[in-house]
Amino acid sequence: MAHTQGLVAITGAAGQLGRLVLQEVLAKVGANQVVAITRDPAKLADVAAQGVKVVAGDFNDPASLTAALAGVERVLLISIDVVGSERVRLQTGAVQAIADAGVKHIVYTSATNPAAAPMEFVREHAATEEAIKASGLSYSFLRNNFYFETITDKVKGALASGVIAAAAGDAAAGLVARADCAAAAAAALVSDSTASEVYNITGPVSLTHKAIAETVAEFAGRDVVYQPIDAASAQQQLEQYGLPAPVAGFVVAIDHDLIGSGALDVVSNDVERLTGKPAQSLAEYLNANRALFS
């Protein structure tokens, strides 16, 4: 895949995903070709020292985004961690600011099945996709599945107890490593392609909780089993662990409503299409992050 010769920019560049994308981008193009946008430029002093242009930009201040993007040809719009109507408002405003800046192509970190998902926080991504389409700019929608990192607590619990309990039934999800999402985003950002495309960013297989338990067992060298439970039992269990009821309800809904509905049961080879390398399997992810689970 050929690389663009123009300036590229990353919003939310100081965040967990943004940092990883920066690393990937800097391995592909010169630092003087990269603009890193963040609310707090001091957090990116290290990459500024490498020659990256670090500028302040805030979704609450669209004019700051337009100014930050002066001369930029392609931008990665990383979805913000606010949810609800406020996220839609802020991201729609950001899309307009990007268009006003004269950017030619938007790469957006969306979500799997955004229009049809049974949870509102996923459907919010569809509203941003529609705003991008309406802007008239070409785009790359990266519909990221849930990260392997989101099951870290389940894996740690299984290593301690030998059990993974969840209200997901036998449903599967195409979970993916955050690092693979970053690599795919970087590849789409620095590409010279102006075609509008939708990519499903997933792991290599769709995993049931039973398959997750089997993989964790092999990783740990001990028995680990999956225990399907109903939503009410899962809610009670999480509250007993100390989670506030609304947070516990949200976690349970992800398993029961989102994964359980089959909305995340999507697998593609789009990570390899974009990066030239296949997505990590869960076993590869666990082995690469042994320190996290020790």
Q: Which residue segments constitute the domains of the chain, with CATH numbers given? A: 7-144+177-202+266-280 (3.40.50.720)
| H/E stretch holding 34 | strand 34-38
- What confidence score (pLDDT) does residue 94 get? 97
Contacts of residue 108, defined as CB under 8 A and 6 or more positions apart, other chains included, come to 76, 77, 79, 128, 129, 132, 139, 140, 141, 142
Tell me the three state secondary structure of residue 140: strand
- Residue 294's H or E segment, with its range, is none
Query: What b-and-e string marks burial along 245-255, b requiring 16 or more CB atoms within 10 Å of the CB?
Result: eeebbebbbbb
**What's the residue count for the chain?**
294
Question: What pLDDT, on a 0 to 100 scale, did the predictor assign at position 294?
Answer: 78
Contacts of 145 (CB under 8 A, 6+ apart): 112, 173, 174, 175, 176, 200, 201, 202, 203, 264, 266
Predicted confidence at residue 1, as pLDDT, reads 64
pLDDT along the chain (294 residues), means of 10: 89 97 98 97 97 96 96 97 93 97 98 95 96 97 96 90 94 98 98 97 98 97 96 90 87 93 97 98 97 87
CA angle centred on 170, ends 166 and 172, rounded to 5°: 90
pLDDT at 174: 98
- pLDDT computed for residue 131 by the predictor: 97
